[in-house]
Amino acid sequence: MEFVAFVGKDKERWGQIKALINHIDCNRAFIVKDKETAGFELSSNTSCIDVDCSKPLVELKSEIMDKLKVGLSKDLEVCLSIASGTGKEHMALISALLSIPVGIRLVVYTDKGVEFVN
């Protein structure tokens, strides 16, 4: 399974994403982030997908879908974190994933470790 997360400008949420990247058992990780977001460090098994979040929602969804579709394997589902970002960014990412199509397993890092919430 692959891991996908959105990284927004809200740096206080980045720790959640970094913890997931460091502890989740996945083949690869894809970080979708606004092209204006700087400073998020990637690990070796992580790919960064820069997008233009100033675009309208439907255009942003299409951009994310086009860029993710190329890198994702043919697995039926991905682990997804939406701990960082805005509602618009989350809607675009979720819609893009469902349109590829892949299923979504929401994931969070807690005191117990990596947990799926659905």
Amino acid at 50: D
**30, 68 Cβ separation under 8 angstroms:** yes
pLDDT at 67: 96
Q: 49: part of which helix (H) or strand (E)?
A: strand 46-51
Q: Among 83, 80, 114, which residue's Cα sits nearest to residue 3? A: 80
Rounded to 5°, angle at Cα 57 from 52 and 60:
35
> Is the pLDDT at 103 greater than 90, yes or no?
yes
The residue-averaged pLDDT of 10-17 equals: 92
Topology (CATH) of 2-116? Rossmann fold (3.40.50)
> Is the pLDDT at 79 greater than 90, yes or no?
yes
Instruction: For the beta carbon of residue 16, count every other beta carbon within 10 angstroms.
Output: 16
The residue-averaged pLDDT of 57-84 equals: 94
| Lowest-confidence region among 16-20, 38-42, 75-79, 107-111 | 38-42
Read off the pLDDT band of 41 (50, 70, 90).
Answer: confident
